[in-house]
Amino acid sequence: MKNWIMRGRCWKFGDNVGIDGDMMPLEFAIKRETDPAVLGPYLMTGLDPDFPKKVQPGDIIVAGKRFAQGNPHIQGLIGISAHRLGLVVESIPRGSYRNAINAGVAFLPGCAGVTSQVDSGEDIEVNFETGLFINHSRGVRRQYTPLDASQLAIIAAGGWRAQLEARVARILGQVKE
């Protein structure tokens, strides 16, 4: 079973963070680059050039409305997955919502007002299975609606491609259940 609880530093962003440019240089989408090792060093560099050097696994991005907006390229979400960061957003447009699941990112998608509860650097904890959000630095707890179990299963498998391989393997009878 995957451990759905993450505790780490908060990295806070505002509304309308763009998938192309803000989160990841557009050139990687054009090249259809999907290697996490290539994309990780460029994550969020459109907004903070040192971001990839500062974050560590278990840290959590907290952002406002329409996070990852724009033409729904997956590269920025793969960048988050590459650093094994969690993601808590006030809203995320449809295409990026699917891409976050497909990239295997643990996230909470509809956390109204969450950016008013945190600041960058604060100690936060999120249970992505139950939707419980805790800001230890402020002693704040909030309950949000988590993703569906079937979506968490895709994330736990490592994203869309990995779960598809497992699903097809079951169809082909290569896995004994």
> In the complex with another protein, which residue's Cβ is closer, 95 or 131?
95
Residue 102 in the binding site for another protein (CB under 8 A):
yes
Instruction: Please give, one letter per residue, the 3-state secondary structure of the chain.
Output: CCCCEEEEEEEECCCCCECECCCECHHHHHCCCCCHHHHHHHCCCCCCCCHHHHCCCCCEEEECCCCCECCCCCHHHHHHHHCCCEEEECCCCHHHHHHHHHCCCCEECCCCCHHHHCCCCCEEEEECCCCEEEECCCCEEEECCCCCHHHHHHHHHCCHHHHHHHHHHHHCCCCCC
Residue 129 in the binding site for another protein (CB under 8 A):
no
Taking CB under 8 A as the criterion, the residue among 38, 98, 131, 162 binding another protein is 98
* Residues of this chain, 26-85, that bind another protein according to CB under 8 A: 65-66, 71-72
Please report how close the Cβ of residue 103 comes to another protein at its closest, in angstroms.
Answer: 11
Residue 150 in the binding site for another protein (CB under 8 A):
yes
Taking CB under 8 A as the criterion, the residue among 38, 123, 160, 162 binding another protein is 160
Q: Give the residues lining the site for another protein (CB under 8 A).
A: 65-66, 71-72, 91, 93-95, 97-98, 102, 147-148, 150-151, 154, 160, 164-165, 167-168, 171-172
